[in-house]
Amino acid sequence: MLSLATSCVSSLSDSYNVNPKSPTSALSSGFIANAERTLARTVVSSSVNLNPLRFYVQYWVATDYPTESRYDLNTRGIPGAYWNALYRDCIRDLREAKNTIPTDITIASANKTNALAAVEVLEIYAWATLVETFGNVPYSEALDFNNSQPKYDDQVSIYNDLISRLDVAIGKFNSSLPIGTGANDLLFPSASGNTTPQWIKFAYALKLRMALIIADANGGKAKTMAEATAGKLPSSSSDAVKLTFDSTFPNTNPLYEDLVRSNRTDFAASSIFIKSLQGTATQNTGVVDPRLNDYFNPATSKTLVSGTYAGGTEGTTNDKELNSLPGSKLQVQTLPGVLISYAQVEFMLAEAVERGFAVGGTAASHYNAGVTASILEWGGTTAEADSYLSQPNVAYSTAPGDYKQKIGYQLWLALYNQPSESWTQWRRLDYPQLPLATNAIYSVIPRRFLYPTVEQNLNNANNAQAATAIGGDNVATKLFWDKY
């Protein structure tokens, strides 16, 4: 019998000891989750090694170390860190997810098309961020281990291809079936429910966003794109595209890591932002913004009246006690990292209406909804929002300036915890008008990041050609969509 048993085993295939229900390769959900985590952390980070954009849009000033607030990108290698986070740690993982989804036994066959479409939307968001940050970048030859010197593609061509890819991805979603990754999807986690409708809304919000990015460069295409999103966008804050961080390190919100875990106080409010929230800035609202005490804590100096909010000067060192530090809500481990907020969607719709795009509603109604959504998102009340909107310098019909100024100013206020997005929208709308930092090393607030030093060294010919094509590798170079 022993001989017979041995004979039988030896005649079986190599899969005899393989559990058919246990995967033998990495699951796609791991790649997707890591890419989502990297993407959210990158665009909301406060690390001066990665994302100094709260300085550029003048939400914050530095206390002890003002170098990055003077637009020094290279001392800490900021462009390379941002570049690597999106290329190596986000897009590369999404490519691996695409490769593994077809054979991933944890995703039902019927759901795999949805999963692939969701990954594509994420990848398009990451690519768009790269183009909007640098201009021409490696695209068609990127992430090929056999090609260490990929060519740089034209920024307009990349963006147009991303728009085409987004339309294809939208067309592949089946709203009646789940994405298939369940709770492992960090943007829209669900142990059992169908989150595909939220992914579709994300895709349409991204389409509207990209339409407005190109609106000054290609108004006709922007109009067609924007109008195709009508009625298909996020309709409440529950549809916001965000990643809720974990309460356990290393998956906590990066602001918590910088503001609390590191036990440092490197950042304070900027004077221009505090005055805007107090209603005493040039664009005077005459009323305290209800988000003031959510965005910042009162200054702690005993020389000031208790409850005083104050801001410092960009480009200099600033006293930690005489100026307001980032608010307690920013110090929570689980504070979400937001890619697209509902408030942002409403401001985009307000602008679309002003540009003559048939997206429904009025500019004023969407503007009001955007302001209200932002106040509610930060814990305010509808009554506070109504009171704020009733002020002549806030109400859409009487607020100063044209639509770019009105919407740009309120969008700037609302995007406080979306610094990468705020920088992009500020470059596009040119409002509010911000002063140059004291002791700035450039004559302008950066309109783009410099190319990473490693690209200049190891991919010199292609990098030099790209720099020439965009008008020079310097921070003053405006990208194709940044017309004014």
The reported pLDDT for the residue numbered 247 is: 93
Instruction: Say whether pLDDT at 22 is over 60.
Output: no
Question: What pLDDT does 371 receive?
Answer: 98
pLDDT tens column, 146-192: 999 999 999 999 999 999 999 999 999 999 999 999 999 999 999 88
Is 10 or 93 the better-scoring residue by pLDDT?
A: 93
Among 81-85, 199-203, 249-253, 362-366, whose mean pLDDT is lowest? 249-253
Instruction: Supply the pLDDT for residue 320.
Output: 97
Q: Mean pLDDT throughout 47-71?
A: 97
Q: What is the dihedral of CA 398, 401, 407, 409, to 10 degrees?
A: -100
Task: Go through the domains of the chain in sequence order and give each one's CATH number.
Answer: 26-58+74-194+456-472 (1.25.40)
3-state secondary structure labels for all residues of 191-250: CCCCCHHHHHHHHHHHHHHHHHHCCCCCHHHHHHHHHCCCCCCCCCHHHCEEECCCCCCC
Give the mean pLDDT of the chain.
Answer: 93
User: How confident is the model over 445-455, as pLDDT tens digits?
Assistant: 999 999 999 99
Query: How confident is the model at residue 285, as a pLDDT?
Result: 59
**What pLDDT, on the 0 to 100 scale, is given for residue 264?**
86
Q: What is the pLDDT of residues 243-266, one digit of tens each?
A: 999 999 899 999 999 999 998 899
CA distance 404 to 149: 41
Residue 23 has pLDDT above 90, yes or no: no
**pLDDT at residue 442 tops 50:** yes
Tell which wins on pLDDT, 311 or 287.
311
Residue 171 CA to its chain's centroid (Å)? 24
pLDDT in tens, 99-113: 999 999 999 999 999
